Amino acid sequence: MRKIVDRTSKRSHTLLIDHLTVNVSNVFNTQYQEPSLKFNRLMPDDNYIVKSYQPGQFILRCLETDNLDASTTPGQATGKDLTIDKSIILSPGKLIDHWVPQSFAELTLDHLHQLNSLQPELILLGTGPQLQFPAQAWMLEFLQAGIGFEVMDTRAACRTYNFLCSEGRLPVAALLAH
């Protein structure tokens, strides 16, 4: 945690900063460890966050804020981890773990229309390990309906989803596993 003083209003702000985890075994053999996607912010019941993503596998945490006790660190929620080995659709209160497309090559506009039932304010499309763009007409259809549509690789989509949920936003993440 760092305390920052705003000199114009003379108020202090406390920021929680998560750092990347790097495992250095020795000077000559440095190994990179993927950063955690964990987000330590209290959210309402039945919210899902993405704890980690590797191509073909998601680890999600279903936050259970009603089970907090005196031993829980303030600002953290307890929950159960779920490991999912296929593409998913994720919103703050709902997990759809039977989404048909498993890779960008299998994705169709009909698959994206399934997201409308979740009434998103913003759709995050995670295209797998590499960034790939769908047809502009697909994105334009959502934008004309007043729904934001962002395309990024799945790892970035997971981080963005966690961050937006922590702000109380209502994103829907369509995350391709491969």
Does residue 53 lie within any of the structural domains?
yes
What's the mean pLDDT in 144-169? 94
Does residue 20 lie within any of the structural domains?
no
H-run or E-run covering 154: helix 154-166
Query: What letter would DSSP give residue 89?
Result: E
Where residue 112 sits, what CATH number does that domain have? 3.40.1230.10
Summarised one tens digit per residue, pLDDT across range 48-64 is 889 999 999 999 988 76
Range with the poorest average pLDDT among 62-71, 136-145, 163-172 = 62-71
Does residue 162 lie within any of the structural domains?
yes
Does residue 2 lie within any of the structural domains?
no
Q: Is the pLDDT of residue 43 over 50?
A: no
Residue found under tokens 């309906």:
145
Percent of the chain with pLDDT over 90: 54
Domain that holds residue 167: 36-175
Nearest to 48 by CA among 85, 97, 2: 97
- Any residues with CB less than 8 A from the CB of 123 and at least 6 apart, and which? 112, 115, 142, 147, 148, 149, 150, 171, 172, 173, 174
Does residue 76 lie within any of the structural domains?
yes
H-run or E-run covering 155: helix 154-166
Residue found under tokens 């769908």:
134
0.85 exceeded by pTM = no
User: How many domains is the chain partitioned into structurally?
Assistant: 1
pLDDT at 92: 85
